[in-house]
Amino acid sequence: MNTCHTCSPRTQTFIGLGLMAFMAATRFQHFGDTLHLPDASWAIFFIAGFYLSPGWFLALLAGAVGIDVASVGWMGVSGYCLTPAYAAMLPAYAALWFGGRWLARRASNDMAGFARLAGAGAAATSAAFVISNGAFYWFGGRVAETSLAQFAQTFIDYAPAFFGSTLMYLAVAAAAHALAQRRPELARHA
């Protein structure tokens, strides 16, 4: 299965810039609404880990931070989430990236490959959510009195949106990948 780690620099650039553009297009409205798609950032870090060389991690990280700074500084988006705990986004994004890297070495175009995608996507998203949400809850300075019960409730309240949007985007990416893998096969039979 081609994961593109050995793709030409041109192909890597095309994929990387496409992912960055999609992140910019979806990041401003984190959970989406009737006019905006949900934030694709978490899925993008996973997908980039699957397809791109490691240098793209830093480029995507800079893009995500830049979008957040522009949102808060120039577009009037609330800076509520920008606390000292924001630094935990680095390991959260890294968990997603490494989930994609792990999958790239084990990917296949069969049911077992799909099961690995679902498992790796869910595991990486879980790790990213625990890191980012935990850091915000425990170290963000926004919650006056913390407790494990209240933290568990925040998990219940917010995890479905993060998991739903991330796994939805990963499913779309998997379908696009499967179609791209079959394209040469279809051309031979035409």
Task: Work out whether the CA dihedral 124, 126, 129, 135 comes out positive or negative.
Answer: negative
The structure tokens listed for 105 are 């070495």
Give the CA radius of gyration of the chain. 18
CA 63, CA 99: separation in Å to the nearest integer?
A: 20
Whether pLDDT at 30 is above 80: no
Answer yes or no: are the C-beta atoms of 168 and 125 closer than 8 Å.
Answer: no
pLDDT at 188: 44
CA atoms within 13 A on the CB side of 49: 26
Name, in order, each residue with C-beta under 8 angstroms of 86's C-beta and a sequence gap of 6 or more. Answer: 68
Q: pLDDT for 38-94, tens place per residue?
A: 889 999 999 999 999 999 999 999 999 988 888 777 766 766 677 888 899 999 999
pLDDT at 130: 93
Q: pLDDT for 123-179, tens place per residue?
A: 999 999 999 999 888 888 777 888 899 889 988 998 999 999 999 999 999 988 888
pLDDT at 102: 95
The band of 186, judged by pLDDT with boundaries at 50, 70 and 90, is: very low
CA 135, CA 18: separation in Å to the nearest integer?
A: 30
pLDDT at 43: 97
Answer yes or no: are the C-beta atoms of 88 and 131 closer than 8 Å.
Answer: yes
- In one letter, which amino acid is 187? A
Task: Work out whether the CA dihedral 97, 102, 105, 111 comes out positive or negative.
Answer: negative
CA 144, CA 12: separation in Å to the nearest integer?
A: 45
The structure tokens listed for 20 are 């960055």
pLDDT at 190: 39
CA 140, CA 26: separation in Å to the nearest integer?
A: 24
pLDDT at 180: 80
- Residue ranges of domains in the chain: 9-189
The band of 3, judged by pLDDT with boundaries at 50, 70 and 90, is: low
Q: pLDDT for 85-130, tens place per residue?
A: 889 999 999 999 999 999 999 888 778 888 899 999 999 999 999 9
Angle at 58 between CA 158 and CA 94, to 5 degrees: 40
pLDDT at 183: 67
The model's pTM is 0.87
